[in-house]
A and B are shown apart, each in its own frame.
Chain A
């Protein structure tokens, strides 16, 4: 893959479901994600700047994988925000998983504001090479 994609400038907000209200008084964004599949696992990579391993919450309920990242608002005593090009907010995103993921083997790594989720494929779903015999 040599094709390059420019880094997006704007963050996308999570739409608030009709008839509900957010419980936290700050913005919530959809983190951008890459998903790729290797022979034995599926890797989900999301950009969540400002989120630490402690403020990250990954849950798997039935088939829904939910990623929540909480960011504390920046406080600068004595300083005032005079120029703003981005907003600070939480991150939330949901993915639906297929049955072929080995739920107990899921691993999450947070580094430099990037979350990597390794979802190993269940043994049955791993591709098997079938030898074709010449009859």
Chain B
């Protein structure tokens, strides 16, 4: 920036394009999106009161799902069964995976494990984890003199 005034016009134009490109890459909608380390990919919503973890696990039976919270780690275990087909049937196309999965994720703050609540709706899992009482942010009032 400080030497911009001494630059020839073409360079200045290049510099402008470079900055424009950086801005595009930095602010795209994918900026927040990260690659999941294992199945299932999870989204984490947070507020001062707690967290909500969501995961898309279509076709997983609630009975086959195991959710545990130990300290600040949330673990999700489960399995998805394939359709049972007999010897008279055959697959034409097979893209959906199946089998067991297990994944642990580190939570950003301690949660009250006694009040963790999980819901499954249309193949989407919602786990709500209230923040531990002692960890909640306290508002500090500033006294005027």
Q: Do A and B bind each other?
A: yes
Residues of chain A touching chain B, judged by Cβ–Cβ distance below 8 Å, are: 1, 4-10, 32-39, 42-43, 45-52, 74, 76, 78-87, 112-114
- Answer whether A38 and B88 are a contact pair too, CB < 8 Å, given A6-B39, A112-B61: yes
A1 surroundings in chain B (CB, below 8 A)? 82, 85, 91
A82 surroundings in chain B (CB, below 8 A)? 44-46, 108
A39 surroundings in chain B (CB, below 8 A)? 88-89
Q: How far is the CA of A87 from the CA of B32 in the complex (A)?
A: 10
A-B contact pairs, 7 of them (CB 8 A): A7-B98, A32-B95, A33-B96, A50-B124, A81-B45, A85-B34, A85-B36
- Answer whether A34 and B45 are a contact pair too, CB < 8 Å, given A84-B32, A86-B36, A113-B59: no
Q: How far is the CB of B121 from chain A (nearest CB, A)?
A: 8
Q: How far is the CA of A80 from the CA of B32 in the complex (A)?
A: 12
Q: How far is the CB of A34 from chain B (nearest CB, A)?
A: 5
- Judge whether B80 and A7 touch: CB under 8 Å: yes
| Main SS at interface, chain A | loop
Closest 7 CB pairs of A and B: A113-B123, A113-B58, A7-B97, A49-B123, A85-B41, A49-B56, A83-B44
- Judge whether A74 and B96 touch: CB under 8 Å: no
**Contact segment of B5-13, B15-23, B47-55, B133-141:** B47-55
Known: A39-B89, A114-B123. 20 other contacts (CB 8 A): A4-B97, A6-B97, A8-B39, A10-B41, A36-B85, A36-B92, A38-B88, A39-B88, A45-B83, A49-B56, A49-B124, A50-B123, A74-B54, A78-B49, A79-B45, A81-B45, A82-B44, A85-B35, A86-B36, A112-B59
- Judge whether A84 and B43 touch: CB under 8 Å: yes
Residues of B in contact, count (CB < 8 Å): 48
Q: Is B120 an interface residue when CB atoms closer than 8 A count as contact?
A: yes
Q: How far is the CB of A47 from chain B (nearest CB, A)?
A: 4
- Judge whether A34 and B36 touch: CB under 8 Å: no
Q: Which of B59, B80, B89 contacts A36 (CB 8 A)?
A: B89
A48 surroundings in chain B (CB, below 8 A)? 58, 123
- Judge whether B52 and A86 touch: CB under 8 Å: no
Q: Is B114 an interface residue when CB atoms closer than 8 A count as contact?
A: no
B90 surroundings in chain A (CB, below 8 A)? 36-37
B80 surroundings in chain A (CB, below 8 A)? 7
Give the nearest-CB partner of B39 in chain A. Answer: A7
